Amino acid sequence: MITNAAVFTKLVLNMIKHSDLSNSDLRRKIRQGEIVFAGNIRLKIYGTLHCKSGKRMKRENRVFFSSEKESRIHCFRPCGHCMGKAYMKWKTH
């Protein structure tokens, strides 16, 4: 039986720091769907991999997530630029 604590532990371990990945590992994880969203660890904001704001952040501040749920568990909020609907929903709650 899988407990909530086991699921949470697995998700916490899945946040990947950009500085811990080589360029080839990053490309492989994106192709395989292991990385879907990127976030700024200092600002606690996540967004799509194609976001212009996200592409400008420093490598040492960037982390990757496999899902929106995972980013929310880590208390990241949606980016207002690339995730407008999710951002407005977050802002009004």
For residue range 15-36, list pLDDT tens digits in order. 999 999 999 999 999 999 999 9
Report the Cα 41 to chain-centroid distance in Å.
9
CA distance 83 to 48: 8
pTM: 0.83
Q: What is the pLDDT of residues 26-81, one digit of tens each?
A: 999 999 999 999 999 999 999 999 999 999 999 999 999 999 999 999 999 999 99
CA distance 50 to 13: 24
